[in-house]
Amino acid sequence: MSLGAIFLNCRWPARGLELRADEQAGCRLGESIAPAAANCPKHFPLICMSPFESNCEFAKLVAGRRGINLVQFMLEVAEDAYPDLDRVGCLVEIDRLGVACHDSLERRACAGARERLEAVSRLLYEVEGFHGNREAYYEPQNSYLNEVLRRRAGIPISLGILYMAVAARSGLRVFGVNTPGHFVVGCCDGEQTLFVDPFNGGDVLDQRACLCRIRQMVGQGACLSETDFRAAAPADIAARVLRNLKAAYAMEDRWPLLLGVQQRLAQLLPQVPQERRDLGLVYLRLGQPGKALPLLEEYRRTCGMAQASALEPSLQAARRMIAESN
C-alpha cells in the first residue's frame, strides 16, 4: 500500500522507511523527480504559505538550482523538530570527523579508491561507533542528522549523507545512489563503480555484491537495472529523506510534526499531486478544514474515479467541519 493509500484509509505502515525516491511520482529511475516550482501543472496552484523562506538549501532545491549542500539541508529539516538545534556544533563535529579521516588516509598512504573507502568506513564505524539502528529502525530520530551524530545511529540514507560529507572532506568524490529500499553511496574507481553500504558497517562492494546486498535487504524478488545504480540528484535524495520522515511520523500518529514534513514535500514536488492531497489530509487531521478543502478539491478534479471515491469521505468531513464552525 502506498503512503497515499495509508493516509486516505487512516492506517499506518508496520514498515516502509527507505522508500524509493521515485515512488508515487511515476518517473523513470535515474531522472530527477523535483523540477523547479515553475514547472508545476497549472491546475495545481503553488502553495501560498511557505514557512521555509530562511532555509537556503531547501529554497535552492525547490528552485531547481545547483550546488546543493545536503548536510545543510538535513540541518534545516532537523530545525523543524529541534528549534534550538546547535547547527554550528553539528558542522564542527562533521569537520572533526573529516579531518580525522583525512589524517588517517595520510598516515596509511591509501592510494586506491577501495582502500580509501575502507579507511573512511573504519574510522566511522569501528573508531567512532556509527551503526545502523536495527533495534529502532522506524524512529523519526534516525532521519535527523543531529540525532545521528549524537546517538551514532541512523538509517541508510542519513548515515549515507554523513558518510558522503566525511569522505568528501577527505578528497573522495562520492555520490548518493537511490537503490530501491536501501540507500547506498557510490564512488567511481576507474571504469568500475564501488558502493558503500552505510547501514551495514560501511561495507565496500562492487556492483554485483551491492545487488546481492540490496536483494538480501529488501527481498530476492527485487527487480533492479543499471539505472538503479546511477548517481541520484540532490532533490531526489532530499525527497527520499522527507518521505522517510513522513512514514515515520505517520506510524506514530504525530500530526503536528508531520505537517512540516508534508509542507516541504508539497513544495519540493509540485508536479506530484498526491503530495498536495496528503498535505490536505494532514490539515484535516489537525482540524484545519479551511486549508484542507482547497487542496482536496483540486486533487478530486484531476484524479481518477477510484482515487476520487477513496477521497470522498475526507471531502465530506472537511465540508461538514467548515459548516459546523460557521
Q: What is the C-alpha separation between 267 and 273, in angstroms, rounded?
A: 11
Let me know if residue 270 belongs to a domain: no
pLDDT in tens, 298-313: 999 999 999 999 999 9
Q: What is the C-alpha separation between 136 and 204, in angstroms, rounded?
A: 24
pLDDT in tens, 12-70: 333 334 433 333 333 222 334 344 444 444 444 444 456 898 999 999 999 999 999 99
With a CB cutoff of 8 Å and minimum separation 6, the contacts of 146 are 75, 78, 82, 85, 86, 90
pLDDT in tens, 62-103: 999 999 999 999 999 999 999 999 999 999 999 999 999 999
For the chain, the domain total comes to: 1
Let me know if residue 185 belongs to a domain: yes
Let me know if residue 319 belongs to a domain: no
Let me know if residue 310 belongs to a domain: no
Let me know if residue 218 belongs to a domain: yes
Q: Mean of the per-residue pLDDT values for the chain? A: 87
With a CB cutoff of 8 Å and minimum separation 6, the contacts of 26 are none
Q: What is the C-alpha separation between 159 and 82, in angstroms, rounded?
A: 19
Residue with cell 575502507: 118
Let me know if residue 129 belongs to a domain: yes
What is the residue range of 218's domain? 50-255
Let me know if residue 118 belongs to a domain: yes
Contact 176/239 with Cβ under 8 angstroms?
Answer: no
Let me know if residue 84 belongs to a domain: yes
